[in-house]
Chain A
Amino acid sequence: MSAHAQAAGGEGHVVGSAKLFSKVWVWLLLLTALEVFLAYERLAVALMLTILVGLSLIKSALIIAYFMHLRFERLGLFLILVPTMVFCICMMLIMFFPDSVRLIHMRPN
């Protein structure tokens, strides 16, 4: 490795191969295609929202784990970032479904 290449390389190390990244990319595309297909199925809005968000969570887990390398970092980093974030989002969602559905029934006719 030349001196310039070594300077450009930085402190980090290479993790994952082009093959692995391409595989993840294909999975992400397949999950997106599944979402588009499901959008045309006549399901109740609340059920559809749950399924679509579930699939999106799987996609974001793939992106975070492989593209953002979190799978290859120390467990400590994952533990300090993800559970706190999930907790904050859960706090936003407290009473979400019962309350938003209740509003429909409260509308004046």
Chain B
Amino acid sequence: MSETEFEGIVDSPWSGGHSPFAINSKKLGMWLFIVSDTLTFSALLVSYAYVRLSTPDWPRPFEIWPAIAKSSFMTFVLLSSSLTMVLGVAAAHKGDVKKTVRYLIATMICGIAFVLIHATEWVTLFDEGVTPWSNPWHVPLFGGTFFGLTGLHMLHVTIGVAYLGVICWGFARGKWNADHVEVSGLYWHFVDLVWMFIFPMVYLLSVNPK
């Protein structure tokens, strides 16, 4: 086999020697994790929607203040954190370390704000007697699905803040490069994306229409 023929074979992305997706393994790994985590959240959301539709006396406790106003603001905070994250990734690829660190810190502040506002909302619900097991309307599935979904999401945001903190520290010290920042960004945007489903399905479907 001549050398040119051999090169021709290797040049095809599907014949080995190349990544068919032209991305690094970290990024492909994160994408695969995101797909599997999407299915976890999908299963939870589908089961929630199922009990929501099949329960005619589903409680509608969310007033404009505090629940809807707070959760709308939380959506704004999370969307803004995605914007700072994507700008941080762009700055990282340009090699601007200072700007990247600033954007990552802004993203983490938004994440922490999200968790704190969410926590105050949970406390309000606890005060009203709504827990994961019981509530004043005798529909225990309301608490089970609400706290299960929002709790798992809150856990993801908390882990995301810690993850970004580690990446930010490592990037500032030159330990890691822009690819690491980009992969952490994928995770962060995914957390934002999940909230885009939880907010309308959990909050907006249970608003008090009065």
Contact = CB atoms under 8 A, between A and B. Distances in A.
Q: Which 10 A-B pairs have the closest CB atoms?
A: A5-B95, A10-B178, A103-B54, A39-B204, A10-B177, A10-B179, A52-B200, A100-B53, A9-B95, A77-B21
Given A25-B82, A40-B209, A92-B42, 14 more contacts: A1-B95, A2-B95, A7-B177, A10-B93, A10-B177, A28-B79, A35-B204, A36-B68, A36-B204, A56-B201, A63-B196, A73-B21, A73-B22, A97-B53
A8 B54 contact: no
B186 A68 contact: yes
Interface residues of A, number: 63
A1 B177 CA distance: 15
Q: Is the interface of A mostly helix, strand, loop or mixed?
A: helix
B80 to A, nearest CB: 7
Residue among B35, B54, B80 with max Cβ neighbours from chain A (10 Å): B54
B10 interface: no
Nearest to B94: A14
Nearest to B172: A8
Interface of B: 13, 20-24, 28, 31, 35, 38-39, 42-43, 46, 49-54, 56, 68, 72, 75-76, 79-80, 82-83, 85-87, 90, 92-97, 100, 171, 174, 177-182, 185-186, 189-190, 192-193, 196-197, 199-201, 203-205, 207, 209
Main SS of the interface on chain B?
helix
Contacts of A59: 193, 196
B49 A49 contact: yes
Nearest to B62: A39
B146 to A, nearest CB: 16
A55 B204 CA distance: 13
Contact of A21 (B76, B87, B180, B199): B87
A42 B209 CA distance: 8
Contacts of B180: 10
A14 B192 CA distance: 22
Given A55-B200, A60-B196, A8 B46 contact: no
B189 A101 contact: no
A56 B171 contact: no
